[in-house]
Structure 1
Amino acid sequence: MAFKHITSRDNPVFKQLRKLLDQSRERKKTASTLLEGVHLIEAYYQTYGEPRLLIIPEGHSTVEATGLIQQLSDVDTMLLPTLMFAELAPVASSSGVMALVDIPEPALPEHVDFALLIEDIQDPGNLGSMLRTAAAAGVQVAYLSKGCTDAWSPKALRGGQGAQFVLPVVEAVDAIEVVNAFAGNTLALTMQGDSLYQQSLREPVLFAVGNEGAGISAALQSAVSTCITIPMAHQGTLALESLNAAAATAVALFECQRQRLLAD
């Protein structure tokens, strides 16, 4: 293990880490990103092995972080002053450990019968939450349109809580091409359409969900098999006009899981 104590913001490694924190282009160019916190680093380690670099602050880390650092004692480690570490940590109350890791290539299943297509989601926390839900519901692959926020940003990773390590995520897809190529039913979650609960979801299905404000584009609505909606109490009330995109995704995906469990 190499151990470095960095105290200057002009250090090239620190400057590179700052770029990875702030720039999607840099993450894509280097195929690497930053993880914050014990849970995310452990989830990565269990799936892909050791990170490339550990980053820790001067002073005390949490008991859990200290245990993880000891477990990964062979990994190169960078020690930073508290304020410099805080510049990298995406949260104010960090557990006291970060890691530089390689972004994995998605391992796609040979046959996909449960997929999620996300169009133009802008908020990284929303995206992470949707991927976390998809992984929990048994989705086999998540497709992200070219207009989506970066799935590997620190905020999206924190929202996903490890979902990106178990759910194949394919970024920058052409949404229409994905729909046309899918061998099964394709359903778009919209404000108006057939009820979700009237759909048979036991056969291969792809759910499409759209942007937080604009919803699914007209072109994608035209491409899918069916536009569906989630019935709500007080339907049509302006204050309840729509569910949050992440909440609507959760309802739809777990309805699919429910039907499939009942069929087993």
Structure 2
Amino acid sequence: MPIIFLESKDNPKIKHLRGLIEQNTYRKKQGQTVLEGTHLCLAWLQEQKKINAIFTTELALQHPDLEEIQRLYHGSIFILSESLYKDLSTLGTTLACLAIIDLPSSSQALQYNLDTLILESIQDPGNVGTLLRSAAAAGVQQIITTKGTASLWSPRVLRAGMGAHFSLDIYENVELEQVLPQFKIPVYVTSSHRSTSLYAQDLTRACVWIMGNEGQGASDYALAHAQAVAIPQPGGQESLNVAIAGSVCLFEMVRQRI
């Protein structure tokens, strides 16, 4: 495979890489995004998916993880100086590995009878990635996001998801009003202001979960068209972090089905 040294930050390939890392609009225009870290790259390759280009450093190239990636990947590897790589990286301390991939598109139409997680205007990439990890671990097949939710294929959300994306069917920027009425299975939304307990629900059949914005919670539309449930908090805190709340709900569902 070709190994090419790039030295200038003004090289067109470096500018392209930086644009994909930093700008959501550029990612959409180019139809590409960036995987950062060897864990994500290996998980992507093990799904037999294509990587367009890999950027690393001369030192990192000797690491066993990069050797495994080279075994699975047959394209160009671009070698950057340590300082240039650090300038591009959003992680800073992990083994140097940035991979450009094409933005995936869902392979099938949205299914209205499957376990589904809806993220409504959740803005923090860490929360979004954590919810995707919990959903994948709980066996949820579909993720829907509304406008205002952090881009699921941004490098930060990908990093927080730790490969969960690769086993999920993802539908972004969906209007809640268009899809919610079509579900023929129970739909739940979390709200700390409702008295109906999560633990009083029968979650043994397929259902939909709506998780709302970190500050404002779920929309009025979601609250009006779903069963609102609360997670009991005997300690008296006002609310839970949305990623924690979503994970509690998903694994109560898992517990009831075991």
TM-score by length of 2: 0.93
CA distance in 2, matches of 1:72, 1:85: 23
Offset, 1:110: 5.1
The 8 Å contact of residues 113 and 185 in structure 2, kept in 1 or not, is answered as no
Give the equivalent residue in structure 2 for 1:217: 219
Give the equivalent residue in structure 2 for 1:90: 90
Partner amino acid, structure 2, of 1:195: S
CA distance in 2, matches of 1:196, 1:157: 29
Give the equivalent residue in structure 2 for 1:201: 203
Which is further off, 113-122 or 101-110? 101-110
Give the equivalent residue in structure 1 for 2:56: 56
Give the equivalent residue in structure 2 for 1:152: 153
Give the equivalent residue in structure 1 for 2:116: 115
Matched, 1:243 2:244: no
What percentage of residue pairs aligned between the two structures are identical? Answer: 35
The 8 Å contact of residues 185 and 204 in structure 1, kept in 2 or not, is answered as yes
Give the equivalent residue in structure 2 for 1:132: 133
Matched, 1:13 2:10: no
TM-score by length of 1: 0.91
CA distance in 2, matches of 1:257, 1:59: 44
The 8 Å contact of residues 35 and 41 in structure 2, kept in 1 or not, is answered as yes
CA distance in 2, matches of 1:14, 1:21: 11
- The Cα offsets for residues 210-241 of structure 1, whole Å up to 9 and x where unpaired, read as 011111111221122x111111113xx3xx11
Which blocks of at least 5 consecutive residues in structure 1 are unaligned? none
The two structures, once aligned, show a CA RMSD in angstroms of 1.6
CA distance in 1, matches of 2:164, 2:228: 27
Give the equivalent residue in structure 2 for 1:66: 66
SS at match of 1:117: strand
SS at match of 2:27: helix
CA distance in 2, matches of 1:48, 1:89: 25
In structure 2, the CA distance between the partners of 1:192 and 1:62, relative to structure 1 (3 Å rule), is farther
Give the equivalent residue in structure 1 for 2:162: 161
SS at match of 1:256: helix
SS at match of 2:143: strand
Partner amino acid, structure 1, of 2:141: Q
In structure 2, the CA distance between the partners of 1:257 and 1:83, relative to structure 1 (3 Å rule), is same
SS at match of 1:192: coil
Matched, 1:188 2:189: yes
The 8 Å contact of residues 211 and 242 in structure 2, kept in 1 or not, is answered as yes
Partner amino acid, structure 2, of 1:144: T
Offset, 1:50: 3.5
- The Cα offsets for residues 99-123 of structure 1, whole Å up to 9 and x where unpaired, read as 1111211234756321100101111
CA distance in 2, matches of 1:147, 1:247: 20
The 8 Å contact of residues 118 and 144 in structure 1, kept in 2 or not, is answered as yes
Partner amino acid, structure 2, of 1:27: R
Which is further off, 249-258 or 89-98? 89-98
Partner amino acid, structure 1, of 2:99: A
Matched, 1:256 2:257: no
Offset, 1:192: 2.5
Give the equivalent residue in structure 1 for 2:172: 171
Q: How many residues align?
A: 256
* Structure with more of its chain in strand, by fraction: 1
Offset, 1:21: 0.3
SS at match of 1:41: helix
Offset, 1:49: 2.5
